[in-house]
């Protein structure tokens, strides 16, 4: 474990720097899961994620000489913003190496605090390798996002807050990527309240840490692909794995569909925006991944809220389709005046709102004299969609596509 004294020291350094984010009961999620759920809202943290805690604590412990050279870090976004904020606080130079796929909102967040951004590599691990090389060439102090005792101690401060904010609880769900957050949290929990179960939640598309935890030895992934970019780590850290093997009770995973549904649920029912990495614990609860916790009291740590708005728009659109609040129809018509108007009048009768329409008379799959009309509709659920389909079929419309 990380010594608890180090976490208390980190917590002291972070006073008046980080926000003491709220822990709130989640009634809808509790009802759906059969578990009494509380959400620790680190998505409301300054810079939008817990990473500020570890980054600030590490930079605060550097010597004056180390600070004078400046710092370099590799990150998909949240650690980057934490380092940039902290470097700006101490008035030192910061360079951040970010994967080329990093969302613009996170790049802009880093630049806002005055750090230089260099885009390199397709994932965190490639960016990290470049950052180490760049730092050595320019004599910059490398600030690792998770493989550092001071960083882990800083992340552990969130567990001290949780224990101070909420009475006895049975388990805590912690997102797992590189393992820095869960190493700090688990060290605190198992030192102060060892009866609490510490459960890591990873993305199915980034399986390295889960596989390593289950095998008891560091195993790297060949490919990482997940919408939870904050935990999209390819290679396992032997250091954080060792911490986890000594303090974490289990690690589970959720897939991208489950993560996306959790993001949408948190927006609609909890009125908060949480990025993919932060939503994995809620995804596990929504999709019954932890049946042994039924009837128990659980904290889910929402680690960050720096959501890429482009991805968010896709998640919302797909969510509306899956929940039957939107549908897309492709209908074949006779290509003559009045055909389209008749179709839209039928849709008006059944109360379907057209939000987009496209007309195609040139497709090679069409008979001469026919046209395909693709219509996007706002609907009121499954019953309403079935009513629309029946109405069109009863009026002899050929439906080629319905989703």
Which position among 41, 210, 303, 326 bears the catalytic label? 303
Q: CATH for 51-142?
A: 3.40.50.1100
Assess whether 122 carries a catalytic annotation. no
Q: Do the beta carbons of residue 355 and residue 377 sit within 8 Å? A: yes
Q: Show the tokens assigned to 12.
A: 């002291």
Determine contact, residues 394/379, Cβ cutoff 8 Å. Answer: no
Q: Which of 51, 106, 190, 210 is catalytic?
A: 51
- Element housing 327 (H / E): strand 326-334
Q: Which of 51-60, 102-111, 273-282 has the lowest mean pLDDT?
A: 102-111
User: How close are the terminal C-alpha atoms of the chain, in Å?
Assistant: 51
**pLDDT classification of 396: cutoffs 50, 70, 90:** confident
Topology (CATH) of 4-50+148-318: Rossmann fold (3.40.50)
Supply the CATH classification number for the domain 324-402. 3.30.70.260
- Please, what is the average pLDDT of the chain? 94
For the beta carbon of residue 354, count every other beta carbon within 10 angstroms: 13
pLDDT digits (tens, 9 = 90+) for 265-296: 999 999 999 999 999 999 999 999 999 999 99
Query: Which stretches of 63-199 are DSSP H helices?
Result: 64-69, 78-89, 104-112, 124-138, 149-165, 180-192
pTM above threshold 0.85: yes
Side by side, the strands of the sheet bearing 326-334 are 353-360, 370-378, 326-334, 398-402
- Which is nearest to 158 in space by CA: 287, 289, 42? 42
Let me know the angle formed at the C-alpha of 245 by 239 and 249, rounded to the nearest 5 degrees: 140
CA distance 228 to 255: 10
Question: Counting beta carbons within 10 angstroms of the beta carbon of residue 358, is it exposed (0 to 12), middle (13 to 18) or buried (19 or more)?
Answer: exposed
Adjacent-strand bridge partners of 141: 71
The string of pLDDT tens digits covering residues 125-161 is 889 999 999 999 999 999 999 999 999 999 999 999 9
Predicted pLDDT at 401: 67
Please compute the mean of the pLDDT values over residues 56-67 and round it to a whole number.
Answer: 96
User: Which residues make beta-bridge pairs with 301?
Assistant: 40
Calpha distance 185→337 (Å, rounded): 68
Q: Is 303 a catalytic residue?
A: yes
Q: What is the distance between the alpha carbons of residues 159 and 247, in angstroms, rounded to a whole number?
A: 14
Pairing label, strands 370-378, 326-334: antiparallel
Query: What is the location of CATH 3.30.70.260 in the chain?
Result: 324-402
Residue ranges of the chain that CATH labels 3.40.50.1100: 4-50+148-318, 51-142
Q: How do residues 240-269 score in pLDDT, each as one tens digit?
A: 999 999 999 999 999 999 999 999 999 999
Q: Which residue from 244, 253, 126, 259 is spatially nearest to 181, judged by alpha carbons?
A: 244
CA–CA gap between residue 97 and residue 277 (Å, rounded): 20
Q: What is the pLDDT of residue 122?
A: 83
Q: Mind giving me the DSSP string for 180-231?
A: HHHHHHHHHHHHH-TTSEEEEEEETT--HHHHHHHHTS----S----S-GGG
């Amino acid at each position: 474990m990380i010594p608890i004294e180090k976490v208390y020291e980190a917590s002291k350094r972070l006073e008046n720097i980080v926000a003491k984010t709220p822990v709130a009961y989640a009634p809808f999620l509790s009802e759906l899961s059969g578990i009494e759920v509380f959400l620790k809202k680190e998505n409301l943290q300054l810079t939008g994620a817990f990473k500020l805690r570890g980054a600030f604590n590490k930079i605060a412990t550097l010597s004056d000489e180390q600070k004078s050279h400046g710092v370099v870090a590799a990150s998909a976004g949240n650690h980057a913003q934490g380092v940039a904020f902290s470097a700006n606080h101490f008035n030192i130079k910061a360079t951040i190496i970010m994967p080329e796929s990093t969302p613009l909102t996170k790049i802009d967040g880093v630049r806002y605090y005055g750090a230089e951004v260099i885009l390199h590599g397709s994932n965190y691990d490639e960016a990290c390798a470049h950052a180490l090389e760049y730092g050595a060439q320019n004599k910059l102090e490398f600030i690792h996002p998770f493989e550092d005792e001071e960083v882990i101690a800083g992340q552990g401060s969130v567990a001290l807050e949780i224990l101070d904010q909420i009475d006895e609880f049975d388990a805590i769900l912690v997102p797992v990527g590189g393992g820095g957050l869960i190493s700090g949290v688990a060290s605190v929990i198992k030192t102060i309240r060892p009866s609490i179960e510490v459960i890591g939640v990873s993305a199915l598309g980034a399986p390295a840490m889960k596989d390593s935890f289950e095998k008891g030895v560091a195993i790297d992934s060949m490919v990482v692909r997940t919408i939870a970019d904050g935990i999209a780590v390819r290679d396992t850290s032997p250091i954080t794995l060792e911490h986890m093997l000594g303090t974490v009770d289990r690690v589970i995973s959720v897939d991208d569909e489950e993560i996306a549904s959790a993001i949408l649920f948190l927006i609609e029912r909890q009125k908060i925006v949480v990025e993919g990495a932060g939503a994995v614990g809620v995804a596990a609860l929504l999709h019954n991944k932890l049946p042994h916790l039924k009837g128990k009291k659980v904290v889910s740590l929402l680690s960050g809220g720096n959501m890429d708005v482009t991805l968010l728009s896709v998640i919302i659109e797909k969510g509306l389709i899956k929940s039957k609040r939107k549908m897309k129809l492709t209908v074949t018509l006779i290509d003559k005046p009045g055909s389209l108007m008749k179709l839209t009048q039928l849709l008006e009768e059944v109360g379907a709102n057209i939000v987009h329409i496209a007309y195609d008379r040139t497709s090679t799959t069409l008979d001469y004299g026919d046209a395909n009309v693709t219509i996007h509709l706002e609907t009121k659920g499954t019953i309403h969609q079935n009513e629309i389909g029946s109405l069109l079929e009863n009026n002899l419309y050929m439906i080629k596509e319905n989703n």
